[in-house]
Structure 1
Amino acid sequence: MNMPTTTHTQDDLLPTLKAPRLNPDWYADSPETILDPGRRIIDAHFHFTDHWAGYGLNEQLADVEAGHRVEATVFIQCGWNYRATGPEPLKPVGETEAVTRIAEQALAQGARAEIAAAIVGHADLTMGAAVEDVLVAHQEAANGRFRGIRCAAARSEAFRFGVLPRPERQLFADPNFRCGLQQLAKHELAFDAWIYHTQIQEVVDLARAVPEVPIVLDHLGGILGVFEHAQRRREVFAEWQRSVRQLADCPNVFVKIGGYAIAISGYHFEQYLTPPSSQLLAELWRPTAEFVIETFGAERCMFESNFPVDRAAGHYATVWNAFKLIAQSASESEKERLFSGTAAQVYRISLKT
């Protein structure tokens, strides 16, 4: 009997890194006392999604109204609610349409924070100049909220991870991709780059090639702490530092500080018996956060919750307490940039006076 044969690619044979399972008991506990409650915050990175136990308007409102003075949030593309039909290039516009509906619902409800004040969506930039039609469609769908494009290039040859499709190798070096990226400048749009620390050089090259586009490095550049990287954390930290110094020479690049609970970091918070305190989180996160702030300057750095993914590290209130502890010794002007000013500049958000 002839059995059907299955063709496997090299990617199919790679181990898969799974996202951490969230502990609902951690959210049932009362959050910590809020530190520096008057500090204005723009949460520079969150997702509405059906993944990670789901995260919708009710969940975000519960978080941003938990005590910190969160005045606006920035939605970042995650492949959610794409259109099921129609031209392939326009399918990601469905995400922008869905987020806009939620943002307007929050506004109608009188939410204290401006939910999804800025929306960063997705477009296939390898379309080159033709991607402009997609950008316009996003802008029309967002009713004035559309601020940028994210293309995930995060790729390791050692494992597979993520909800987003596995990207092509050297995506950012593709000439068509760079042509597409240039279209963002025409519309005053920023570009969010999600990569691993082993790929920071790709962002350096991209930033130099298209200096007119603001580029935001998500999650400090995705410092790997899993598989073989877990066995040599000091070497990895030194490698990351060298790459970050080089990237800081590109004046159009900004950095988001957060994303520490992503599985690739290797912290494994979900294995803790009790949720980590903000003091513990600050101790763990301070070396990388302080290095980025010192290297780029506070004027090019911004804190991000990365919720709901970073719910694996604890309550929203606890995560922002940790950031406030990290920034404790910063000047008032530096704190303003880290917690709201940089995000307001990059994503063109006007806070209420």
Structure 2
Amino acid sequence: MQVVDPHIHFWDAETLRYSWLDHARPVFSGHTARLPRIYGPEALSADSAEIDVLKVVHVEAIHDAWTSPTEVDWLQALADDPLSSGKPEGIVAGVDLLRVDARTLLADAAAHRNVRGIRQVLNRHSDPWYNYVAVDYLTEPRWLEHFRLLNEFALSFDLQLYPSQVDAALALIEANAQTSFIVNHAGMFVDRDSVGGYRAWRDGLRRLARHANVSVKISGLAMFDHHWTVESFRPYVLETMDAFGVPRCMFASNFPVDRLHASYAALWNAYAKIVAGATAAEQRALFVENAERIYRI
């Protein structure tokens, strides 16, 4: 099976600083102490085995930005190393848009040859167990003002949020119609203990999908479903595809985070089984071509 994987995390916690790895603890996605301290193209090659990974997009791994080298410097050097076979072909850099020097940070990121966009995780939830960040960036005037700079640097935005944040996200999308948004992890359906939670996720996806500049990665499902099966994944995959249509969907692994609950091959084979009834062209789009087009790799 050939794939382009548009959601991979490479890191080296011996060279760079990642506080969340240094202070490993149980979180909803699994125990971070079980994650490797170093994960790069060689480790991915070992994990992928029977899967032919043509290209990958690294998505920022919540690096401690004040340390040197910066994550994006390290990643570009990695991609330029012949031993890495060009991986990662695409980089989604981490930039804090709340900082007063956000323009400089964006310019520095965009100057790297493989950078295609940025991500700043937005996930806030009424249950602190699910919080990623302490600030509701979607309500911060300076963050919103700096967000408009992405279009100036031709950068996309990886949109990682919960269904409860869709209203605020839609205001951001509508105010930045020239920016490409990529929803992470199929919209991160976290409130799985109620009909209302499912409805909020499903309807939120459809509202996001009304905007032509929004696409979605079907990934990260194992973070919320540690004992998953193909059948437990199926409704989330199909609902997401129904909302966005094949041309704006792409499968991804979220490795090595999802390695806590699945092998690399198991995830991709599960996706393949779920869309086995799609045409060959649709499957090629979902597994390869959409990621290449959306991330320009």
Normalising by structure 2, what TM-score?
0.85
Cα shift readout 1:202-239 (whole Å, capped 9, x = no counterpart): 22221111111001110011111xxxx3432x332122
The answer (yes or no) to whether the contact 2:58–2:92 under 8 Å persists in 1 is: yes
1:109-128 matches, cutoff 5 A: 109=83, 111=85, 114-127=86-99
Q: CA 1:331/1:167 → structure 2, altered by over 3 Å: closer, same or farther?
A: farther
Indicate the percent of aligned positions where both proteins have the same amino acid.
28
User: What is the DSSP-based 3-state SS (H/G/I as helix, E as strand, rest coil) of the residue aligned with 1:231?
Assistant: coil
Q: Distance in 2 between the 1:288 and 1:230 partners?
A: 12
Q: For structure 2, which runs of at least 5 residues remain unmatched after alignment?
A: 14-20, 22-34
The answer (yes or no) to whether the contact 1:178–1:210 under 8 Å persists in 2 is: no
Q: CA 1:70/1:190 → structure 2, altered by over 3 Å: closer, same or farther?
A: same
User: What is the DSSP-based 3-state SS (H/G/I as helix, E as strand, rest coil) of the residue aligned with 2:290?
Assistant: helix
2:105 to 109, 114, 134: 134
1:240 to 195, 201, 214: 201
Deviation at 1:83, TM superposition (A): 4.1
Name the counterpart of 2:6: 44
Cα shift readout 1:268-291 (whole Å, capped 9, x = no counterpart): 33xxxxxx6xxx3x2111101111
Q: Distance in 2 between the 1:301 and 1:250 partners?
A: 14
Name the counterpart of 2:114: 145
Name the counterpart of 2:169: 203
Deviation at 1:305, TM superposition (A): 0.3
The answer (yes or no) to whether the contact 1:48–1:80 under 8 Å persists in 2 is: no
The answer (yes or no) to whether the contact 1:191–1:215 under 8 Å persists in 2 is: yes
Greater Rg over alpha carbons, structure: 1
Q: Distance in 2 between the 1:57 and 1:46 partners?
A: 10
Name the counterpart of 1:74: 57
2:290 to 342, 346, 349: 342
Q: CA 1:183/1:110 → structure 2, altered by over 3 Å: closer, same or farther?
A: closer
4+ aligned runs moved over 6 Å, structure 1: none
Name the counterpart of 1:252: 213
Q: Distance in 1 between the 2:161 and 2:296 partners?
A: 24
Matched, 1:216 2:182: yes
Name the counterpart of 2:75: 99
Letter in 2 for 1:200: V
Q: Distance in 2 between the 1:62 and 1:127 partners?
A: 38
Letter in 2 for 1:122: G
Cα shift readout 1:113-159 (whole Å, capped 9, x = no counterpart): x411000111122347x52321221133x3x1011110111011212
Letter in 2 for 1:96: V
Matched, 1:296 2:244: yes
Name the counterpart of 1:168: 135
Deviation at 1:343, TM superposition (A): 1.3
Name the counterpart of 2:226: 268
User: What is the DSSP-based 3-state SS (H/G/I as helix, E as strand, rest coil) of the residue aligned with 1:115?
Assistant: coil
Deviation at 1:245, TM superposition (A): 1.3
The answer (yes or no) to whether the contact 1:261–1:309 under 8 Å persists in 2 is: no
Cα shift readout 1:180-213 (whole Å, capped 9, x = no counterpart): 2221112221001111122122222211111110
Letter in 2 for 1:313: H
The answer (yes or no) to whether the contact 2:192–2:198 under 8 Å persists in 1 is: no
Name the counterpart of 1:28: none
Matched, 1:329 2:277: yes
Q: Distance in 1 between the 2:251 and 2:244 partners?
A: 13
Name the counterpart of 1:57: 41
Normalising by structure 1, what TM-score?
0.72
User: What is the DSSP-based 3-state SS (H/G/I as helix, E as strand, rest coil) of the residue aligned with 1:125?
Assistant: coil
- Coordinate RMSD, CA, aligned: 2.1
